[in-house]
Structure 1
Amino acid sequence: MARVTAVAHRGDPYRARENTLASFRSAIAAGADAIELDVRTTADGVPVVLHDRTLKRLWGRDVPVAALTAAEVAEATGGGVPTLAEALAVTAPVRTLIDLPERSPALAGAALAVVRETGAGARVYYCGDVGALRAVRAADPGAEIALTWKRTARPRDTLLAELRPRWLNYRFGLITSATIEQAAARGCAVAAWTVDSPRIMRRLIGLGVTAITSNRVATLRRVLRRAGAG
């Protein structure tokens, strides 16, 4: 059976707070092949690692990240929200999937700049908003892209020709054998997100996905090992 990439969703969030350096270290120790993390920019243009627009859910501060400087974000979170550069230093042992959640060429450009400055290009790939991914492709013809897809209709051929993704990154409930076959016909592998149930992991492995994103990477690693796909 082909190897399936185990992608840790925001690190290891059931063991350490999501999108923190501690969470990334925990996921690597648990056997992740790649770390998925989310990037937003501060008021002074620094890419930081956070899924939400504000600090409220994780850090108790109902203020947009975009309204604070990087120094203010660090102060408000006790240093808990890492910069992208700090995160890439910690995730160096594995691959890093950068999720760009905003339709923002500026966000994509800032993330690409950090990747170049840190020399992480060979181990980084990108998913997220289609608008951001368009900006990635325009700025870096060689970037590896995982096209995030949430619809039952398959991606248009024109979009695939424009973005040239390596992966079609599907919400797991949309994946069928036909999905796998259609992706293969277009030269793409299929990745699934976000899967925490061992039963669903096994189903997806049987269908032939080549990457699974999970909040429970240790569980995913065990399922892959038992299936001969780890």
Structure 2
Amino acid sequence: MTTSFFDTMPRIIGHRGARGLAPENTLVSFRKAAEVGTKSIEIDVTLTADGVPVIHHDMDVKRCTDGSGPILLKTFEEIRDLDAGSWFSDQYRGVRIPTLEETLDCLADLGISLNLEVKPCAGWQVPTAETVGQFLNTHLKDRFPILLSSFDIEALVTIGRITPHLPLGYLTEAIAPDWEKRLSEAGAASLHVQREFVTEAAVRDVQSAGYKFLVYTVNDEDEAKRLLDWGVDAVITDYPDRLLPLI
């Protein structure tokens, strides 16, 4: 069994690679994150129409490619034809949406750990989690630490059943009053909270209950320092180069 994600988790995690420095959720973004010293990244996985796990955040490809329409309605061949880099800069023209397999190979070469967020389309929670979980069981091969996370409890429960050896993180915006019940139902080991909704008391309560506390997406150095001083386990940022000097 590979080292647990939390045993090696740094306090600064790159968001979608290094989203502020290169086109998000692409191999060039992962390499840029490593280049500036990032030891772990958070990225998103979803499915194509023909069931290929690919790295992409939105349900529609319009924002980050030269195409449009739901990714779930496009075959992998159609996804592969899209330019996922020129929207960010002409320097990245021709960059493609990577597969999960390509990503695992890339991160193994870079030697960094992974927080993989499962991003199913509504209604596709179970098939997405099943496909990704089965893929990880076949292809991960204990090459580096990984944490699986999702906003969707059904997806977490499903993938947790398939990959019981991997830790789970529950994503939320605000912290619900029944947060401990939700974490227990999901089998999660960590709570990931949107930065605006984090309080020092919440950090203390969650950690006292035995869970890790991660915060997203933090790009301001002063805010990051305050959160780190409060003792959050990690902050997720678009600009790891800005926040890494804080630690």
TM-score, shorter chain, exceeding 0.5: yes
Q: What secondary structure does 1:204 align onto?
A: helix
C-alpha displacement at 1:132, in angstroms? 1.3
Alpha-carbon distance, 1:95 to partner:
0.9
* Counterpart contact for 1:35–1:91, Cα < 8 Å: no
1:166 positional shift: 1.9
Q: Could you say which residue in structure 1 is the equivalent of 2:117?
A: 99
Deviation at 1:63, TM superposition (A): 2.0
Gaps of at least 5 residues in structure 2 are 1-8, 84-93
2:62 counterpart letter in structure 1: K
Q: Conserved in 1, the CA contact under 8 Å of 2:14 and 2:33?
A: yes
Q: Is 1:4–1:209's contact at 8 Å kept on the other side of the alignment?
A: no
Q: Return closer, same or farther for 1:50/1:66 CA change in 2, 3 Å cut-off.
A: same
Q: Report the equivalent of 2:90.
A: none
- 1:175 corresponding residue in structure 2: 198
> Residue 31 in 1 paired to residue 37 in 2?
yes
Identity of aligned residues (%): 26
1:134 aligns with 2:150: no
Answer yes or no: is the 8 Å Cα contact 1:88–1:120 preserved in 2.
no
Give the secondary structure class of the aligned counterpart of 1:54.
Answer: coil
The yes-or-no answer on 1:61 pairing with 2:67 is: yes
Partner of 2:136: 115
User: Cα distance, 1:160 vs. partner?
Assistant: 2.3
Question: Which residue of 2 is the match for residue 50 of structure 1?
Answer: 56
Deviations 1:177-213 (A, max 9, x none): 2112211221101111000000100000110001110
Report matched runs for 1:66-77 at 5 Å.
Answer: 66-77=72-83
CA deviation string 1:7-33 (max 9, x = no partner): 110111222111100000000111112
Query: In the alignment, which residue of structure 2 is the partner of 1:144?
Result: 167
RMSD value over aligned CA atoms? 1.8
